């Protein structure tokens, strides 16, 4: 019957026997309204129907369930008494609401309870209602907000069977431990739970997981900000979207329809051990199998074994870099890790490993910080962004064996796997001063001297932009109208042809405005500049800064951020202490140089440029003394005081001290430096900076390759 609602007024019952056994004949029960074999409860939109049904016209197995009303064939989406069918049609659905017990139950005529639900509180006006979503709810009758979810004391969506409907949750209530999972029917004639199930594995980084019994069978991967990690893009998938929600109270997976007029459901099939995506095609009057999971060889959980990757395109298994197969076919470490010298290899378009042995960090952690955290923990074997939107954010670290890895054709994310240093393939030899000169780089375009001479009007004085450590720089225009800058190596240059070629190779690879964040993080080659200073920052005619002079820069291999050299090069006054003393340079040594530069900009002074000052004093030390005395604004250049905001200048000084801290791990990376400069977030208190007293001051300055300090007089962007 249309829009049928079961309403039972509050009645006081005294039950003699536990509800799990029988309802005693001596109990007084008033059947105000009930469902019988011929009655149904229909949602307001007419899409779903609740009633009693049998399978294959059986006359001795009766079930209470929900199905699509408008779709022929009675597609069942939920069953109440799936484990205990009635053996004849004489049964009733009741609401019991009394001082002793609050329950919704299905009772047989011999008073056997076939199915029951405990209600957490006493209801004044209980109402059982089938919603338009297909959700059966028991709620408190309230005319003001009768459809609001807060009045539900029980709902069928919390107890799914083999079918997930739009809006139904698959997940866990973290407060109570209550789990919402799907379980397949044993077979088409038996809706009782089979062995095939699907639930949310609530690890540090939750992921939906299909199982056959307790054996993992397929993982969708964790939520990576835009979708689940293993989802393959399907052309035309426009009518539904996945949903992921997680907070301290609950975590769940769901899906929503963009067009509610197209019925869709996900169902588990025990016969094939597949999750089916089914869409109703009204014109064909049938369910279309839109998708099924798992589909291919590589989607079977752990099909290649631990520490191995399954290539989707090849349907083949390969051990990860640094691992080799043994006679049994397992992938084992070829060489042991060395915590101090390990690096990482980057895998792209990956479904990340099983998250059961994953540590999930907060979303404010960027990729560089994530790598540093993994490096500092000798047990960490891999890391990745947990959110791939934009430039990526969040951090996930893995420990132990890496399971269920696969390369995807058009999805996934970058994954960084820890390997011994010997396994890292690097292009750093192009810039290694201790090795022989390399062959011409294929990425560098070459021009005849006649073309270059013609574009610069034979290196005319009118086209000269200025001078640097290598020699003069000229502007020019090629025949196609492209404007160029030409650096001509001078015979009197303080640097050699190796450094000159190194800079050319780097400029060819870095087709981007040369900021430190780009060099350290966004470039396809991680670059450490090693000589950042005021004279190596160019300004174009719109005062946009560009980093120049890559003669001393180094490309680091893979995802490497640190290297040790025997040849310390750079400019005295800008070099970080760990680099000057131990030859250890990294992204954090560039951050130190940036801190010096920032302090010079605010003060209008050079760190070591005024020879009239005492040899053992420098700008950093002067600034720090003013800071601890509470007079940091005294550092600001007089010409800036009138035109600048004192709070902004003070913030720049504060940030410079964070960049100048003695230990590299205390310094922020450039992405966080930029965030601090561009926002008003709170700043941590800096530790004492490296003041260059003692052993740094006693270094033989002649051992440092100091670059020409001349600044260019007319500057344009390169």
What Å distances lie between residue 607 and 17, 493, 713, CA to CA?
A: 88, 25, 21
The answer to whether the beta carbons of residues 639 and 604 sit under 8 Å apart is yes
Mean pLDDT of 446-458: 84
CB 664 within 8 A of CB 576: yes
pLDDT of res. 28? 22
Q: Which residue has the higher pLDDT, 523 or 316?
A: 316
Under 8 Å between Cβ of 397 and 417 = no
d(CA 673, CA 532): 16
Query: What sign does the dihedral 11-16-18-21 (CA atoms) show?
Result: negative
Structural contact between residues 438 and 356, judged by C-beta atoms closer than 8 angstroms: no
- Name the CATH architecture for the domain at 428-703: Orthogonal Bundle (1.10)
Q: 365 with 394: CB under 8 angstroms?
A: yes
- Both structure tokens of 92: 């009733």
The string of pLDDT tens digits covering residues 597-631 is 999 999 988 886 444 444 456 899 989 999 999 88
Q: Are 37 and 89 in contact (CB under 8 A)?
A: yes
CA distance 524 to 559: 10
Instruction: Return the closest-CA partner of residue 568 out of 554, 555, 588.
Output: 554
Task: Give the start-end residues of each E strand in 174-285.
Answer: 179-180, 182-187, 190-201, 207-212, 215-219, 240-246, 250-257, 264-269, 274-281
Q: So what's the pLDDT on residue 561?
A: 58
Residue pLDDT, tens place only, 153-199: 889 999 999 999 999 999 999 999 999 999 999 998 899 999 999 99
More confident residue, 592 or 557: 592
Is 284 marked active-site? no
Domain spanning 1-159: which CATH class is it, in words? mainly beta
Between residues 697 and 294, the one the model is more confident about: 294
Query: CB of 255 within 8 A of CB of 240?
Result: yes
In this prediction, what percent of the chain has a pLDDT beyond 70? 74
Q: Of 342, 354, 531, 559, which residue is the catalytic one?
A: 531
Residues marked as binding?
A: 487
In 3-state terms the chain splits into helix, strand, coil percentages (rounded to 5) of 20, 30, 50
**How far is residue 123's CA from residue 153's CA, in Å, rounded to a whole number?**
9
Question: What is the b/e burial string over 629-659, where b = at least 16 CB atoms within 10 angstroms of the residue's CB?
Answer: eeebeebbeeeeeeeeeeeebbebbbbbbbb
- Annotated binding residues for ATP, written as ranges, equal 487
């Amino acid at each position: 019957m249309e829009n049928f609602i079961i309403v039972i007024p509050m009645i006081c019952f005294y039950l003699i026997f536990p509800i799990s056994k029988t309802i005693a004949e001596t109990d007084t029960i008033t059947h105000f309204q009930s469902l019988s074999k011929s009655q149904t409860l229909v949602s307001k939109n007419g899409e779903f129907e609740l009633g009693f049904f049998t399978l294959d016209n059986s006359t001795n197995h009766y079930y209470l369930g929900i199905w699509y009303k408008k779709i022929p064939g009675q597609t069942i989406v939920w069953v109440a008494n799936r484990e205990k069918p009635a053996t004849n049609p004489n049964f009733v659905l009741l609401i019991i609401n009394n001082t002793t017990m609050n329950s919704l139950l299905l009772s047989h005529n011999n008073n056997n309870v076939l199915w029951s639900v405990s209600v957490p509180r006493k209801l004044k006006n209980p109402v059982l209602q089938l919603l338009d979503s297909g959700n059966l709810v028991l709620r408190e009758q309230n005319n003001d907000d009768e459809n609001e979810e807060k009045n539900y004391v029980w709902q069928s969506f919390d107890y799914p069977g083999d079918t997930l409907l739009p809006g139904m949750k698959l997940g866990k209530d973290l407060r109570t431990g209550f789990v919402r999972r799907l379980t397949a029917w044993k077979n088409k004639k038996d809706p009782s739970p089979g062995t095939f199930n699907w639930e949310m594995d609530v690890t540090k980084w939750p992921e939906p997981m299909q199982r056959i019994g307790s054996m993992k069978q397929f993982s969708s991967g964790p939520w990576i900000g835009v979708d689940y990690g293993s989802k393959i893009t399907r052309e035309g998938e426009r009518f539904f979207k996945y949903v992921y929600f997680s907070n301290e109270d609950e975590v769940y997976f769901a899906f929503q329809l963009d067009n509610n007029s197209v019925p869709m459901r996900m169902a588990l099939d025990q016969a094939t051990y597949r999750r089916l995506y089914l869409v109703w095609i009204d014109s064909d009057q049938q369910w279309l199998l839109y998708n099924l999971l798992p589909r291919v060889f590589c989607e079977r959980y752990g099909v290649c074994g631990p520490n191995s990757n399954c290539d989707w395109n090849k349907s083949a298994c390969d051990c990860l870099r640094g691992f080799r197969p043994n006679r049994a076919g397992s992938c084992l470490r070829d060489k042991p890790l060395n915590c101090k010298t390990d690096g990482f290899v980057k895998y792209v378009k990956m479904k990340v490993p099983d998250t059961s042995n994953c540590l999930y960090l907060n979303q404010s952690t960027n990729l560089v910080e994530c790598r540093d955290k993994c490096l500092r923990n000798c047990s960490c074997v891999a890391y990745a962004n947990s959110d791939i939107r934009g430039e990526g954010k969040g951090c996930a670290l893995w420990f132990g064996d890496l399971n269920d890895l696969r390369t995807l054709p058009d999805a996934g994310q970058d994954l960084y796997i820890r390997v011994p240093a010997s396994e890292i393939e690097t292009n750093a030899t192009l810039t290694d001063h201790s090795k022989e000169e390399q062959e011409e780089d294929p990425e560098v375009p070459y021009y005849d001297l006649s073309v270059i001479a013609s574009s610069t009007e034979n290196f005319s004085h009118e086209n000269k932009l200025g001078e640097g450590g290598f020699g003069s720089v000229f502007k020019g225009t090629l025949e196609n109208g492209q404007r160029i800058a030409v650096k001509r190596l001078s015979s009197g240059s303080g640097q050699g042809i190796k450094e000159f070629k190194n800079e050319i190779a780097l400029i060819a690879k870095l087709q981007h405005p040369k900021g430190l964040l780009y060099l350290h993080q966004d470039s396809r080659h991680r670059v450490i500049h090693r000589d950042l200073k005021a004279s190596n920052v160019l300004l174009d005619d719109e005062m946009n800064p560009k980093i120049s002079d890559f003669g001393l820069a180094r490309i680091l291999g893979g995802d490497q951020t640190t290297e040790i050299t025997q040849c310390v090069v750079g400019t005295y006054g800008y070099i970080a202490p760990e680099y000057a003393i131990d030859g250890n340079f990294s992204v954090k040594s560039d951050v130190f140089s940036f801190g010096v530069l920032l302090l010079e900009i605010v003060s209008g002074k050079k760190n070591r440029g005024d020879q009239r000052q005492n040899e053992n004093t420098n700008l950093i030390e002067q600034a720090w003394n003013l800071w601890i005395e509470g007079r940091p604004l005294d550092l600001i250049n007089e010409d800036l005081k009138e035109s600048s905001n004192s709070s902004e200048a003070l913030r720049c000084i504060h940030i410079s001290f964070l960049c100048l801290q003695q230990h590299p791990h205390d310094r922020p990376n450039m992405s966080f430096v930029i965030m601090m400069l561009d926002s008003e977030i709170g700043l941590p208190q800096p530790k004492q900076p490296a003041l260059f007293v003692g052993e740094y001051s006693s270094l033989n300055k002649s051992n440092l390759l100091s670059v020409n300090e001349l600044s260019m007089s007319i500057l344009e962007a390169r």
